[in-house]
A and B are shown apart, each in its own frame.
Chain A
Amino acid sequence: MLSEYLPIAVLATLAVLFGVASLGVSALLRPNRPTRAKLAPYECGIEPARLPAGERFPVKFYVVAMLFIIFDIETIFLFPWAVGFRQLGLFGLAEMAVFIALVFVAYVYVWKSGGLDWREPAPRRAAAAPPTALEPEAREVVRAG
């Protein structure tokens, strides 16, 4: 059974060798004339500066990663079920329907509380920040990058 994975190990070795070799050989052959301007981070017309530490991204990205784990685990449970569900029969189907329904409750909750909306909820912003000339999307672009 392990021998099945032998060709994959060979392929992985080959891919790593290819990557490292092309980096290494290229490093030997190419010119190297760094200047300060070349090595500076890319910026368009202004002095390059790093984003301020902390609160650099909307918390939405974190929520998406969290929700991804939840649904990834759900999908992972579906895999062994999908392999054996013919033998499990109606019991297996009902079992999985209940499971999916329960996770769907979580999904509906997240949707309702705005976790799937990429724009910020309007009422809260209206209360907290004075209206600005920016459209919500434009504001989002500013914050989300």
Chain B
Amino acid sequence: MAPDQIVFWVFAPVSVGSAVAMLFQRNAIHAALFLIVNFFTLAVFYLVLGAPFLFAVQIIVYAGAIMVLFLFVIMLLGVDREESLVERLRGQRPLAIVLGLGLAAEIFVTARASLGLARGPANFDETVNVGGNAQALSHVLFRDYFLPFEVTSILLIVAAIAAMVLAQRRERTTVEAAGEAEV
């Protein structure tokens, strides 16, 4: 077997296993930990596919930033002690089934379409990664896709505003509650 196949077959079961384990954890923090493991295996798959830049970004952004936010929120809301297992969102289950079926169909179609592409030797270093993965990415991202890139900044602005609005609403209710308690 080629080295990339060995790596894939070592990490694929870990990936699926951690995803399944995450679903069956009752403790929110344990579930988050399995999700981090899953993000890691995903990063390794990017590496196998000849995208070392994405490998690093996957670790930095998903494992390093987004999961920290998840852990913060879990601790902040105090849902880490198996107390709040009541479902707050109604209609969540049927919606999940519909969306899950849709996703499965999408994966099936995509996998069928790309089966032919995956055959045969593919050397990314000589085809797409000319002059290095990051260089190649920089050319594609900042020349061909510069408009989507600029629009991303709008997305970041929206995220910042949303964070502030949500936080201020929370803060106000907290402070008012504290004020009432003190009175």
Contact = CB atoms under 8 A, between A and B. Distances in A.
Please determine if A and B sit in direct contact within the complex, based on CB atoms under 8 angstroms apart: yes
A43 B139 CA distance: 57
Contact of B163 (A3, A105, A115): A115
B11 to A, nearest CB: 11
Contacts of B138: 80-81, 83-85, 87-88
Nearest to B83: A53
Contacts of A36: none
- Chain B interface mostly helix, strand, loop or mixed? helix
Nearest to A87: B139
Interface string B2-42: 01100100000000000000000000000000000000000
B48 A54 contact: no
A3 B72 CA distance: 37
A61 interface: yes
A125 to B, nearest CB: 6
A57 B69 contact: no
Contacts of B134: 79-80, 83-84
A113 B152 contact: no
A54 B78 contact: yes
Given A66-B69, A66-B163, A130 B182 contact: yes
B157 interface: yes
B76 A69 contact: no
Contacts of A95: 142, 146, 149-150
Contacts of B146: 95
B170 to A, nearest CB: 5
B176 interface: yes
Contact of A80 (B53, B64, B66, B83): B53
B10 to A, nearest CB: 10
A99 B168 contact: no
23 contacts: A1-B50, A2-B3, A63-B164, A67-B163, A69-B65, A70-B159, A74-B153, A80-B53, A81-B141, A81-B142, A95-B142, A98-B150, A102-B154, A103-B157, A106-B157, A110-B164, A113-B164, A115-B167, A128-B172, A128-B176, A128-B179, A129-B178, A129-B179
Given A102-B150, A115-B164, 13 more contacts: A1-B52, A59-B76, A61-B72, A62-B76, A67-B160, A69-B66, A73-B61, A84-B142, A87-B135, A87-B139, A109-B157, A124-B171, A132-B182
Interface of A: 1-3, 5, 53-63, 65-70, 72-74, 76-77, 79-81, 83-85, 87-88, 91-92, 95-96, 98-99, 102-103, 105-107, 109-110, 113, 115, 120, 124-125, 128-130, 132
